[in-house]
Structure 1
Amino acid sequence: MDQPNLNTQPNRQMSDREHITPNQDRSGIRFPSRHLRNFNPRQALALRSERAVGAKPAYLLPALLAIVTGVVLGVLLLVLFKDQSTEPTITTIPATPGQARSGPEVKGAAELAGQSMIVWQLGSFPDAAKAAQAQKDFTNKGIASVIRGTGPFQLYAAVASDKKTGAVFEAELNQRKVTFYAKEFKIPARQGYIANLKDAEAHAVVQGLQAEAKLGLDAMALLTSAKPDADKLSALKTALTQQSADQKSWHALLLKAGLQEEAAQCDTLHKQLEAAVGALSGTPNLLDGQAKLTAFFVAYETFTEQLISVQ
């Protein structure tokens, strides 16, 4: 009769193994089959790693879709913009008239000769209001005049190269019983620079001013007589027409340099010269013509002082 198995130490070990969960060894690792109870744990880990490598990640499909979408969009953009230039578009904004030049400061050298003449003054006043009232009173008497200065304010009525050549004008004032006195009117020479102009440009402007002054002096010589010389008057008008064309060029230079106020004064100055020469046509009005010529030289003095900065 067979003897029963005793619960010896080896049998207890077998019993412990029988209590291990199927597909699991003592390390807690599950195996593919419950028949592999004695499978080595290291072999089990290697087997699991191999399965992980062979498995397809969950993000693989979205990644492929993203790549395909990017390629398709790139091709579409190339088709849409194949005719577009790769160069950037540059918009050029034209400079507005009167815009000053940018960059380093420019100063054109300028030298202008002075002028000396005799002026007939009707009065001097401490403030502009009194000067304006006196001017109005003289206008009512048929005598035109010009206000000069910024305090005191002088009232000028006529100019001439010297006192002798102004004798005809003095006779007119005496006949109207107007108090006056003759004195020297000196426009000083100026040497300095014109801002924002190059030397050649400043020289062109100065030449234009000197030509204006010369025409003013020529008109002064004709305004000393009630009947100007016809040939001299014709030559003066021809020269003035040429000067009008030249004046536009240096007027443009002032605008280009950003000197809008000076450019406006340039226009006013030339119009006053034209008015003085125009007063010589037909039967000249000596008093009216002299006042217009005086206004020209007073404006010339103010303009040159503002335009040319002394170094």
Structure 2
Amino acid sequence: MAVGVYSLTALTLPVIPGVAGPHGRATAPAAAAPLRARIEQMDAMVRRFSDAAKAHGGGAVHHGLAGYLHRPVAGWLHTPAPEPVHHQLLAGAARLTLLLGTMTADDGHDALAQHYHLTATRMAADAEDTALFAIALRTMATHASDLGHHTRGVLHLSEHAADTARRSSRSVRAYTQAHLATAAAHHDRHTALTALGAAERLHEQADSLPGPFTAYPLAALHYQRAQTLGALGDRTGAVGAYTAALRLRTPAERHANALTRAALAESLLAQGHLDVALAHWSCFLDDCPHLHSARVGRSLEAMRQLLTPHKRYPSAALVLDRASLLR
């Protein structure tokens, strides 16, 4: 699977059935206490692996998460359990698999990441968890957008995520509306701004517990706002939104900090602010050695290409020299 090819045509969508659960699963009841302890453990592992990826990049930790899913989580899904408990086990496994897909994409294995995302989407459907299903659809759309795919199919996937989330928490609805705004910005300005406004209102009204699948950080919303405005040609607005996102990032979010700084520097350079862009790229280079991330690597390569025409400028030459040491 690691040598496969990412495919837009593979983004086929399961539906949430009336009766869930994988075929052939044993249905005899088991003691609920050990099963619920496993659910709690999976939730804790989602937080641990998510925090590790934020600090070190998906490439540093995705193999560990894959091993945890392979054993013991896969075995737990075949443990006889009451249907409601089995649904919770499935949802926990889906969250872990979705996180694994995002980490794998960050490591540059896009076909394998797509496989994980689709698997997580099907598990969310089997678990009859509409909020998680919407999050999974949004994650697939985000992956496609990150790869530069801005087709109508990706827009429809983003619309489907937002529509599926309409009865979910305000955080989940804001999360799906924010990416709908970014996807729509490549097709229809009014739709993009309407979705962005909805995301901002929903976020203001949200009251959710902190966690990778329960909260939508304000910094992430500002980042999505910057991407939307940038796609609409509003470079000044994009710079302001990236700056707001960066201001809200914590030191522990090194991965997000690096990507935000790189995007901000690109936007600043496009406006002709070379020195300010160089200052942000210098900070970006400080983070790079700590991160195992293909996305960060792509931002590094973009920086090199954008600064090459300015290589005779001493400050730009210094940044390029530092970048040459990062291979």
Name which one, 1 or 2, has greater alpha-carbon Rg. 1
Is the helix fraction higher in 1 or 2? 2
Q: Which structure ranks higher in relative contact order (CA pairs < 8 Å, sequence separation ≥ 6)?
A: 1
TM-score, with structure 2 as normaliser = 0.24
Is the strand fraction higher in 1 or 2? 1
